Structure 1
Amino acid sequence: MRTVALAVAGWLLVTSGAAAQPPVVIPVPPPAEPVEPALPGGAAVSRPLQPVELKVEAPKPADPPPPELPPEITEPCRDPGPKKILGGHWGSDEILIWWAKNAPVPALVTGGRAGPPVLGAPGTDVLLGGSPINTPDIAGYRLAYGYSLDAGDRVGFEGTYFFLGTRTISDFATNVTNPRHPFVGLPFVNAQTGQPDVLTLARPGDSYVLANLYTSTRLQGAEATLVGNLVARPGAKIHAVAGYRFLQVNEGLRLETTWMQFAPSRYGNSTVLGITADQFDGRNEFHGGQVGLVGDFHRGPFYVEVTGKVAVGTNFQVVNADGQTHLLTAANPVPVGASFNGGVYAQPTNIGRVTQTVFAVVPEGMFKVGLKSGENGRWFVGYNFLYLSNAVRPGDQIDGTVNLSQIPTLNPGGGLVGPDRPRLGITTSDFWVQGLLIGFEGRF
């Protein structure tokens, strides 16, 4: 109410002295701020609005990006090619073009220019055998299939099978078209004298002969291995392999002669047709454990794969020998035939079968170079070498010492007189195959 009182007093003063004095302007103070009513006890009903200060926090620095994990964990296939380390499952098909080690063959047929073709005699040449026979290329096929065993795609199983088709090589000798060697025979060492001798089957004007020599080779093998990844980096993978290897090598050697002696002959005043056959077979069956490494290196669409393995185990060896002689003598009204057990190098003393089991090592090396086809396929060509350290080969099993009393051509129906030769034993050497491979691989 103080404000109203001051206003009334001012008005009275103005009206009383209005005639004599000029008007006086009294400044009016600004209205005072209203007093907030208080509730009993002194508590305010309300408070005026207070300015609010907004606190704006400075942006925090961004968290550093998480460290990049190694590529083999985050992206096992950052490298071009299959999207996994091993692949969920994989397979390959290969065409093989391989060559086997030359077949050992002793001197089996000789030719003489002026007399019986005894080995070492002047004018005697070896017509069949006497040196290893070159084995031409053998075609084959290899199939492999594998699959991963763990979620990390680092451990897998792989099975492989391959074979080489049977390859037979033949050669012949005859005096019919070879006037340089009118004498043709089968040489040996006489068991009764210990001196070189020969079974002469062709003589000029008396007899003719055709001798045929055959050698054959057949090969197959299989593997069952565990595959474990050791290194998986962009452009390079290295795997370890361990498992079982099977390898079988079968070879054969056969000598056949067909000859005719005109009357008069050693068989009397008759013409005789004779056939002899000597067969030797060598079989090797290897079983063993195997370990190795496989390196896969690639850049862009190109890649190189290098494989090295070695297997250690036992080789079951079998040697078979067999021989036959057939004589057909001209007679009236019909020819008379006779057959005998034994040829020339295979006689009753060595016809049969012998076996043994020996320790052997089978190393293998492989090199491939190829081009990738899409994300999952690869075409390749390469080279393969496979070795068997302890093997039996047919030509090594021929005993060159023969007892004449057992040869049916010389002594039809006769029995053994003197030393029991030839004998059947086991002579070992080594064996290998090598060659090219062409194929396709897919990993999915």
Structure 2
Amino acid sequence: MKMRFGRLAIAAMLLTGSSMVVANDGTSVVGDLPGYGEDAYFGEDAAYTAVPESNESYDYEDEIVDGDEAYQGDSIMGDVQPVGHTQRATQRASGRSVMRQASARINRSNAAMPARQMYPTQQMQPVSHQMMGSGYNEGGYVDGGYVDGGDCGCGDNSCGGGSSCGADMSCGCGSSACGGGSSCRTHKRMCKLFDRSQGNTWAQMDLLLWFPQGRKSPSLIAESDAGTLPILDPAISPSTRTVFGGENDAELSAGFRADAGIWLTDNVGVGGRFWTLAENGQSYAFSGNGDDISVGRPFFNTNSALFAGNNGGEDSLPIALTGVAGGPDLSGSVNAESALDIWAAEAYARLRFGCTKSCQLDFIAGYSHFDIADSLFINSTTTIEGTGGAPPAGSAVGDSVSYLDQAMAENTFDGGQLGFEMVMNRGRWTARSLTKVHLGNMNQAIAINGSSITTPATGAPTSNPGGILAGNTPIAVERDVFAFAPEANFKLGYQFRPNVALTVGYSFIYFDNVALTGTGIDRLVDGATLGTGLNDNGFLEDDSSLFVHGIDLGFVIDF
């Protein structure tokens, strides 16, 4: 009896220690308890629970036993563990220790049971083993189902590892575990497409809103008040003004630019760029009899017999004229147009000089091709009316004469390019600076020709070479000169997707040595030879410069 009281006292002490461990649903909050080492498993003073053999299964019934019956007899088999060691999550949830769960009756059964309900042979563990790290995993009931013990990782469905590691790897198109289903929604697929950042391919596209430099040429068409001669001499006609030619401001031209390439390595890439501007030009059209306005084509007449002082002077071929003393009234029409077309193609390589988290500097070198075409076209017709003064000698009322003058200047540049591009990033904002110079050969080709057609009131028309400014011999000249073209481009971009950015910028390109039609026209004309096919006008070789500049609106995509 004395021995029983001693054992009950020891059991009470152990139950008190066990309750500290299994508090809060079996989770200790005080860490490993002192004194549980090898000395924790001593003699018969310690209370142990039985662990069945790994090759047998048992059914336990809730029955309280006390005294020696809890530790003796054939009902307890296998190795033993301290009382504080809990066996199953259901026992911890109920707050009952394993001592209370000791079974007085064990029914052996060889019937197969699910593996998760089998209890393998275990070594004795101290009560405080529940405080060990996640590397130790004991089976238990979680969310109404039993979770098997063992390692947790890829391929282990019991702990959420699944067939792949990590939620990001297991959740996506075709995964029903996270709501992905068998296919992804359209907008999700599109987002994934745009999220393909950190690629090695780039593409930049810009809408160009550029202004070419205003081009200069002689005054080609002039107007004056009705009843006055359209001559560029204030002493003769102070109201005369140039309406086509002279100095004019170029209008806005829209264009397109595309730049794409690929990084061959982390520091070497190749790319190409193409850009073009829509035709930029000036035009003029008139048709009438001169009742409201006088219209003519001015030139400098070198025939001294017609001017005082024998030095020649300003003159004009009238198109529409009414009420001028000394000559008949005239009616007619005129159409004129000048156009500038520019396009470019480049192939280049870039070498990354330096790169930091927020800044990147690339050296650029490659091949450049530019094509700059400037054209001019003027066609006019004058008819003698039956009013006003008498027609000139050798002409009659109803006679008409037409003059056609056209010129074309074609500039083709082939050479190399050298430059730098710097990119700076701050959050979603990106600033780009591209500066380079194109060096090479500029081939200049100029062609000027014209014709005249005289149509009498009665009879067949007569055609002769040469117009007013174009001589009777067509001009076709070509030469090669060295040229350079500096270029600068600045952009500010906002990255609204990981690989897509909207940009706005400014571009400037200067061509130092080009041929333009306006500067090559010779306006010195022998007025007595007009329409006869005998006028021999020349061509002025003069180098000109040209620049284009304006705003860029575009976007950048990295694949």
What is the aligned counterpart of 1:195 among 294, 298, 312? 312
Specify the alignment match of 1:275 in structure 2.
402
Aligned residue runs from structure 1 range 389-428, under 5 A: 389-408=512-531, 412=532, 415=534, 421-428=536-543
Specify the alignment match of 1:139 in structure 2.
254
The 1-side partners of 2:407 and 2:267 are apart by: 48
Residue 319 of structure 1 deviates from its aligned partner by 1.0
| Bigger shift: residues 206-215 or 278-287 | 206-215
| One-letter amino acid of the counterpart of residue 91, structure 1 | A
Residue 382 of structure 1 deviates from its aligned partner by 1.0
What is the aligned counterpart of 2:470 among 346, 349, 365? 346
| One-letter amino acid of the counterpart of residue 428, structure 1 | D
What is the aligned counterpart of 1:164 among 274, 277, 285? 277
Higher RCO structure, 1 or 2 (CA under 8 Å, sep 6+) = 1
Specify the alignment match of 2:493 in structure 1.
370
The 1-side partners of 2:378 and 2:443 are apart by: 26
SS in 2 for 1:336: coil
Q: How many residues align?
A: 347
Q: CA 1:182–1:242 in structure 2 vs 1: closer, same or farther (change >3 Å)?
A: closer
Contact preservation (8 Å) 1:117, 1:187:
no
Q: CA 1:235–1:177 in structure 2 vs 1: closer, same or farther (change >3 Å)?
A: farther
| One-letter amino acid of the counterpart of residue 398, structure 1 | I
Aligned residue runs from structure 1 range 191-270, under 5 A: 193-201=310-318, 202-205=320-323, 206-263=329-386, 265-266=391-392, 267-270=394-397
What is the aligned-residue identity percentage? 24
The 2-side partners of 1:270 and 1:336 are apart by: 15
Contact preservation (8 Å) 2:229, 2:237:
no
Specify the alignment match of 1:9 in structure 2.
none
Aligned residue runs from structure 1 range 174-185, under 5 A: 176=289, 179=292, 181-182=293-294, 184-185=296-297
SS in 2 for 1:339: strand
TM (norm. structure 1) is 0.72
SS in 1 for 2:519: helix
The 2-side partners of 1:360 and 1:97 are apart by: 25
Name stretches of at least 5 consecutive residues in structure 2 with no aligned partner: 1-194, 305-309, 324-328
SS in 1 for 2:541: coil
Residue 112 of structure 1 deviates from its aligned partner by 5.1
The 2-side partners of 1:172 and 1:128 are apart by: 10
Specify the alignment match of 1:29 in structure 2.
none
Specify the alignment match of 2:298 in structure 1.
186
The 1-side partners of 2:379 and 2:491 are apart by: 43
Matched, 1:89 2:201: yes
Q: CA 1:423–1:307 in structure 2 vs 1: closer, same or farther (change >3 Å)?
A: same
Alpha-carbon RMSD across the aligned residues, in angstroms, is 2.4
Contact preservation (8 Å) 1:301, 1:371:
yes
What is the aligned counterpart of 2:237 among 123, 146, 149? 123
Higher strand share goes to which structure?
1
Specify the alignment match of 2:217 in structure 1.
105
The 1-side partners of 2:314 and 2:554 are apart by: 53
Residue 224 of structure 1 deviates from its aligned partner by 0.8
Contact preservation (8 Å) 1:380, 1:438:
yes
Matched, 1:429 2:544: yes
The 1-side partners of 2:426 and 2:406 are apart by: 54
SS in 2 for 1:108: strand
TM (norm. structure 2) is 0.58
Name stretches of at least 5 consecutive residues in structure 1 with no aligned partner: 1-80
Higher helix share goes to which structure?
2
Deviations 1:352-376 (A, max 9, x none): 2111111111111101111113221
Contact preservation (8 Å) 1:116, 1:185:
no
| One-letter amino acid of the counterpart of residue 204, structure 1 | T
The 1-side partners of 2:303 and 2:364 are apart by: 53
